[in-house]
Chain A
Amino acid sequence: MSELKELAWTVQESVQPAPFEQLERRGVRRRRRRQVLTGAAAAGATVAVLVVLLPLGGNARSQQPPVVKESDPVVLSKTAEVRSVAMATAGDWSASWADCASQPCRYGATVSRHGSKVTGLGGALPFVALRAGDEPIAVAAPSGAALDSADPTWPETVLLRLDGLRTALHYAKPTADFTTGEILTDRLGGNGELRVLNLQDSTLRQLRPAGLDGARSPVRDNTGRWWVVTGKSTSGSRSDIAWTDDGGKTWAKALLDPANPGAKIAVSPDGRTVVASSWVDGATLEAIGLLRMSTDRGAHWTTVADKPWARGGGPVVFNGSAVMLGQKLSDPTSSLYGISAGRAKPLNGVPDQLDDLAGDERLLYGIQLERPTAQKVAVSTDQGRTWRTFEPR
């Protein structure tokens, strides 16, 4: 047992719990007080909801390009940090922001497309920046761990698009499959479970893919095929690379790692080159178990030699090769690694504190974790050789 666990154990053994009835009385008293106050609070809440929702109504396409207002306190706040970013091109991106200088945190998002910008005020639910094909969007999903129609935060959810209505999301029942045009993601709550976002009817639902355990990191190539990696998030879990061409009705599989859960999968636009990694759970950084690569659309797989010790971001896959952020065990700074012909090798350094790596052959990007607050995104248009930064707001 580690010294830290021994410490916790020693303390635990010395504690004499207070009688449960004392706490029960305190809780019941508070509950009664709250019930008395509920009527007054409801009236106040109605006004607050109207204030937040009214600016979000209307079709953005039919109006002048919206402009971020000085009065928006979250996205423009000096104490806000960028939490996620999704970029299609240098000018088409979405970013989510959080301001936690005071509690509770406040959240907002900005979507930029074709020279126009729109900002979502959000409120109490955090946004996540996503890409729907070439369209950057931002989504504030329900906060409950399980996707449940009774979740009281559904009315506060937001689907923020520049080209469409900004609407609340709606619950849909779990399914095992999905249709063309729907978006699979593991980033909208639920501790990374797969969820399906339908932009046509603004619904969100849980995906329960048949025969897959702990599917995550969904990614779609331009042929329409969706890829995931699987495995429970604990050491000793076998993981597979899985893919479907029929919207999840059937899945093909290849072994990723016999003893570690899957972490990340990325695919080239044409779907021929695929790179997937497994994760050695328990390591402080995301130590890589195995890094596997296919250049023939999943028919054959190679274990990549000379892999970095830990994954810092990516991989981002081009046609026939890939890059990723990696770390050596002996060096805490991330470097850009190139992956091709079954080998990984360090290429060059990257901006300090670059967190994660996403993009494509034309554009690589990642959030820069600068102190005291991360507000910049680092961008490269020459496959990682040079970088510039901008604030996505």
Chain B
Amino acid sequence: MAEQDSLRDLYDGCYRRLVGQLYSICGSLGEAEDAVQEAFVRAVEKPRRFAQVDNPEAWLRTVALNVVRSRFRRAGRHQWLVTNAMAPAGPVPGMSPDHVALVEALRQLPYEQREAITLHHIVDLPVREIAVQLDVPEGTVKARLTRGRARLAPLVREFADDIQEADHV
């Protein structure tokens, strides 16, 4: 009972934050919510394993990311691009035109770059932790970040600043 109570507290505390983070990868509110809900279902399903986790929110985010990634792979990259290019961005009330443009730009990035950008610039994970989480070399993460930042530079001030700084050196 105590386990479920603490999971409920976690749900109240971090469900919305996780959906916000996943949205920038999925580009769809429904997809993002679905993935995060699946993570919580798995936590309920395996309570003993979940109780041993050091950082429950990180565990939930990893599971949700795995869900999104496996759906992406199952659907095939081409199908994903077609589906997402045709479907409008998930209806999110209060979203500014700048944010709509940013979501669109994120959806044009290869999946791996979107994932790396989200984990580093929204979740604030260091490169080495992302490498561990995604099970890829640090160099791969760095390359994905560099390419993703370059493509988002017109829409994200801090990325544009980097490029300007680099131009002046």
Contacts and interface: CB of A to CB of B under 8 A. Distances in A.
Interface of A: 2-15, 17-18, 20, 23-24, 26-28, 30-31, 34, 83-84, 98, 100, 103, 105, 126, 144-146, 148, 150, 191-192, 233-234, 281-282, 284-286, 312-313, 328-330, 332, 353, 355-356, 367, 369, 374
Given A2-B157, A9-B20, A369-B140, A329 B40 contact: no
Given A2-B157, A9-B20, A191 B135 contact: no
A8 B18 CA distance: 9
A8 B20 contact: yes
B142 A23 contact: no
Contacts, number: 165
B149 A284 contact: yes
Contacts of B167: 330
Say whether chain A's binding surface is mostly helix, strand, loop, or mixed.
mixed
8 contacts: A5-B122, A7-B103, A13-B16, A23-B44, A27-B40, A84-B137, A105-B135, A145-B53
B94 interface: yes
A145 B20 contact: no
A2 B118 CA distance: 12
Of residues B43, B73, B137, which shows the largest number of chain A Cβ atoms within 10 Å of its Cβ? B137
Interface residues on B, range: 35 or more
A27 B44 contact: yes
Contact of B135 (A14, A17, A126, A355): A126
Contacts of B15: 15, 17
A4 B122 contact: yes
Contacts of B37: 18, 23
B52 A148 contact: yes
Contacts of B146: 284-285, 332
A112 B169 CA distance: 45
B29 A15 contact: yes
Given A328-B169, A329-B169, A15 B24 contact: no
